[in-house]
Amino acid sequence: MKFTPDAVKQLRERLGLTQAEFAKRVGVSVRAVAHWEAGTRNVSTLAQRVLQQLTKEAANGETATR
């Protein structure tokens, strides 16, 4: 699954996370998340796997564990 900038932002918002919180969950920098959402960088293969797992959590109605 390829994550578009809009898909990344929508996922983050569905989970109720800030960019900083989302970055921590994914294991990347806040700057990386900002780049993904702006469309200036592509999501790495490893990060895509994490985003796929987070997508499943969001589909099951799970929210962020803070």
The pLDDT value given to residue 36? 98
Query: Which superfamily is assigned to 5-59 in CATH?
Result: lambda repressor-like DNA-binding domains (1.10.260.40)
**Averaged pLDDT, 50-57:** 95
Spell out the domain ranges in the chain.
Answer: 5-59
Burial 7-20, CB ≥16 within 10 A → b, else e: bbbebbebbebebe
How many Cα atoms occupy the beta-carbon half-sphere of 21 within 13 Å? Answer: 14
Q: How confident is the model at residue 61 (pLDDT cuts 50, 70, 90)?
A: confident
Q: How confident is the model at residue 66 (pLDDT cuts 50, 70, 90)?
A: very low
**CA separation for the pair 52, 17 (Å, rounded):** 16
Global pTM reads 0.87
